[in-house]
Structure 1
Amino acid sequence: MRIAEIFHSIQGEGMLAGVPSVFVRTSGCNLRCRWCDTKYASWEPEGEEWAVDAVLARVREYPARHAVITGGEPMVARGIHALCAGLRAMGMHITIETAGTVAPDGIACDLASLSPKLANSTPLPGEIGEAWRERHERDRWRPEIVREWVEAGPFQLKFVVEGAADLEELEGLVAVLGDRVRPSDVFLMPQGTDLPTLAGRERELVDLCLRRGYRYCPRLHIALFGNRRGT
């Protein structure tokens, strides 16, 4: 499997924010989010080929008991099911960070961190080839697959939001998923990779959370380390 990086840090987002974790970032993605902050694992995938056993051996070097499988889109990585099975055998808590465009198919997972993409993620004309723009727009929201993840086990829904203008779309997506999704399962995370941008959006998102019962999702790793790889 192609791996962009493996590192030890704290989880910066969602219900496990602050938990020491080993991050395994696979390289490659089936979407092209215009604001992607890990283009080295998506738009321009970097990394080397690793055997699953080698990845597991590297994870064992760290003291954390939580593993976060991220990307890119980890569910398109060759060997992802074998990797998660190996982590489960090691007794690791497994979070899979996915856009929810590929079915779980029985994968070992303790927390599905689902991040369906809103229209704000679609590249503008000229930012990427038209074929990729159309593919992204077609595939960014797969409700039947997100529903499979929701029904498979513990989950959180994490939306990257630019402002109140995204709320109608977001709530429409959540409504399609049915009663299994409670407001407290939904996290609103401001789009941005630097503190001034995040600060400019957080108040509006907090107000939305207060009104709707959603959870506000800070980007703790950016506050602590900046937008740097390996954090």
Structure 2
Amino acid sequence: MSQYKINEVFESIQGEGSFTGVPSIFIRLQGCPVGCPWCDTKHTWTIDPMLERSRDVVMAEQAESEHWFTHSVEQLLALFAAQGYQAKHVVISGGEPCMYDLVPLTSHLITLGYSVQIETSGTYEILTHVDTWVTVSPKVNMPGGKPVLASAMQRANEIKHPVAMEKHIEELDQVLKLLPATNKPLIYLQPISQQKRATELAIKVCIQRNWRLSLQTHKFIGIE
């Protein structure tokens, strides 16, 4: 029976990429060795057995925490029901969700009528149901030293790239070379931390390349 280490589960509105504005259930998995300096979920990086807690303890926490709990697919669905969640779109993120085999979880959700999206750095093989929407946010030259995989880029339905300066556009251009000419995922640029310079750069390049702008809408309106 598949078990997943979970940092948090909550219901909100998707604020980024193609599903911006869609009511969603977020499952944030624990563990990530990529080491992005600007990461806003660094509390999900480490899987420390000493920080495992019960589901009820983790779900009751009101602030970001390194605590995590373990659940099976069946237990997660029971949690959805217990919380009274209404959204029919599920976003699996992290951490790095592709450290896990997501086939059992995504297959079960899709069978039950949910649409499913995963958000990954592209540094792990993607094991998920064929109908999962895959958002790759390629993490290039990060401190963890893990390369972006061609197989991950080729599985992407959308590519969402954080940018702050020109070198980030150059890095994206390099990993886009991993795509065959027939692959045409949606490409979004997302300004890091809503910085003015980053936003201006993203807008300029989106217009030049006919790409799309992704703003972290949830941060502008003050929700998780």
Q: Scaled by the length of structure 1, what TM-score is found?
A: 0.79
The equivalences for 1:62-81 within 5 A come to: 62-77=85-100, 80-81=102-103
Tell me, in whole angstroms, the C-alpha distance in 2 between the residues paired with 1:48 and 1:105. 22
SS of match in other structure, 2:177: helix
Match of 1:125 in 2: none
Is 1:50 aligned to 2:52, yes or no? no
Match of 2:10 in 1: 7
Shift of 1:52: 2.0
Is 1:167 aligned to 2:188, yes or no? no
User: Per residue, is there more helix in 1 or in 2?
Assistant: 1
Tell me, in whole angstroms, the C-alpha distance in 1 between the residues paired with 2:216 and 2:147. 22
Shift of 1:175: 2.4
Is 1:97 aligned to 2:126, yes or no? no
Is the 8 Å Cα contact of residues 116 and 132 (structure 2) preserved in structure 1? yes
What percentage of residue pairs aligned between the two structures are identical?
A: 29
Match of 1:126 in 2: none
The equivalences for 1:72-221 within 5 A come to: 72-77=95-100, 80-119=102-141, 122=142, 133=143, 136-137=144-145, 139-147=146-154, 149-150=155-156, 155-182=157-184, 185-192=186-193, 197-221=194-218
5+ residue gaps, structure 2: 48-65
Shift of 1:101: 2.1
Instruction: Name the stretch that deviates more: 49-58 or 66-75.
Output: 49-58
The equivalences for 1:17-28 within 5 A come to: 17-28=20-31
Instruction: Name the stretch that deviates more: 84-93 or 169-178.
Output: 169-178
Is the 8 Å Cα contact of residues 56 and 86 (structure 1) preserved in structure 2? no
Is the 8 Å Cα contact of residues 116 and 140 (structure 1) preserved in structure 2? no
Change (3 A) 1:199 1:109: farther
Match of 2:34 in 1: 31
Shift of 1:103: 2.1
Deviations 1:72-110 (A, max 9, x none): 111113x63221122112110000111122223453543
Q: Scaled by the length of structure 2, what TM-score is found?
A: 0.82
SS of match in other structure, 2:215: coil
Is the 8 Å Cα contact of residues 5 and 47 (structure 1) preserved in structure 2? yes
Tell me, in whole angstroms, the C-alpha distance in 2 between the residues paired with 1:39 and 1:50. 21
Change (3 A) 1:108 1:4: farther
Instruction: Name the stretch that deviates more: 65-74 or 34-43.
Output: 34-43
SS of match in other structure, 1:173: helix
CA RMSD of aligned residues (A): 2.0
Change (3 A) 1:225 1:106: closer
Shift of 1:46: 3.0
Is the 8 Å Cα contact of residues 56 and 83 (structure 1) preserved in structure 2? no
Is the 8 Å Cα contact of residues 123 and 139 (structure 2) preserved in structure 1? no
Instruction: Name the stretch that deviates more: 31-40 or 108-117.
Output: 108-117
